[in-house]
Chain A
Amino acid sequence: MPEKPSKLMPALYGGIIMGIISGIPFLNFVNCLCCAGVMFGGFMAVFFYKKDLPPDNQMFTNSDAMALGALAGVFGAILGNVITGVLLLTVGNITGKAMYNMVIGLYDSIGLLDKMPADAVEQMERGMMDSGLSVTNIVLSFVIDPLFGLLGGLIGYAFLKPKALPPAQTVTQ
């Protein structure tokens, strides 16, 4: 029986996609839609793994997809935190600032800003500007990214799974 290809590289590629989406400001807004960016990374890990398999990839199993998605999530969490950290050190929390300006603009346009207590506005600003890189965020990234990466891997398998072979026919002579 032929050996299965390594899961490491496809998971790493998926993790790179995940990390870039999660770490790059504004691009990480994709994750606001139920972690779509993270799930996409898990999906892509399964896609890359399937590409390494022979065309009649009957040895591609459900458990492979689960492992690929979760592993891509671990890689994605590492890379996402590194990118976030580097960007915070160099350009600051531009996503938080943009988000704050967007919300304030929205509240102002509907006339809600004047009615809001100053404390609430201040707390909202603090909440958005502090949501950069903290110990809590790093720990949570290593829980949430593998979990949603795994979900992406499961969806990927449902999409890309090998078609079942037709039943073997009896040869009569």
Chain B
Amino acid sequence: MSKVSFAYALALAGTVVWCALVVAAPYCVHLGGSWAPVGETIYTGFHRICHQLDGRSLHLFGLPFAACSRCTAIYFAFLAGTVVYPFLRPLRTPRTPSRLTFLLALAPMLIDVGLALSGIHESDTLSRLLTGTIFGVMLPFVVLPVYLGAVHEFSSRSSSVHTHMKGTVDA
């Protein structure tokens, strides 16, 4: 397995764990006993990055997910985007989408949030899930090429140093 493929697998595994944590929090609290503090720690962790309002969250066993419905949609869509990424883009020649594509994917979420904050239109679960999914599914196509490009740079730099050192020893 090449370093770039390994880096991709690492990113995918990290995203799977992150998404699993969102669902694991209510499950752990539901299990109770020694699992309850684990669930509460996950809730505390996600509280830093999400308001976790009960009325704006999806539920499992009557308990809210560790992140609100919009964040949950972003995370799971990011996972979906990461899964399909190698089928749509080659890992070895990273290419990012245009700024316009990024802004177009971000716009529905910003409009939804903006309308809710201004009191013109209250966002509902469907709009939060939909706009979060649009943004989340596009995000890996922006982030992964740069990340994989960095890994490629690191590996080519270390291999050139290795070759140089080998040459020095051989000489």
Contacts and interface: CB of A to CB of B under 8 A. Distances in A.
Interface of A: 29, 31-35, 38, 61-63, 65-66, 99, 103, 106-107, 131, 136-137, 140-141, 144, 148, 151, 154-155, 157-159, 161
Nearest to A106: B55
Could you say which of B41, B51, B154 has the most chain A C-beta atoms within 10 Å of its C-beta?
Answer: B51
A148 B153 contact: no
Contact of B145 (A29, A107, A158, A159): A158
B154 A136 contact: no
Contacts of B150: 61-63, 65-66
Contacts of B137: none
A62 B70 CA distance: 29
A124 to B, nearest CB: 8
A131 B48 CA distance: 9
Interface string B151-164: 01110000000000
B85 interface: no
Contacts of B97: 158
Query: Which has the most chain B C-beta neighbours within 10 Å: A63, A106, A161?
Result: A63
A136 B102 CA distance: 34
A62 B149 contact: yes
A46 B40 CA distance: 35
B154 A155 contact: no
26 contacts: A29-B51, A31-B48, A32-B51, A33-B70, A33-B113, A34-B49, A34-B50, A38-B49, A61-B153, A62-B94, A62-B149, A62-B150, A62-B153, A99-B51, A136-B41, A136-B44, A137-B48, A144-B45, A144-B49, A151-B143, A154-B146, A154-B147, A155-B142, A158-B146, A161-B96, A161-B146
B135 to A, nearest CB: 9
Contact of A34 (B74, B102, B153): B74
Interface in B125-157: 142-143, 145-147, 149-150, 152-154
B91 to A, nearest CB: 14
B53 interface: yes
A154 B44 contact: no
A99 B113 CA distance: 18
Nearest to B109: A33
A65 B94 CA distance: 15
A140 B43 CA distance: 12
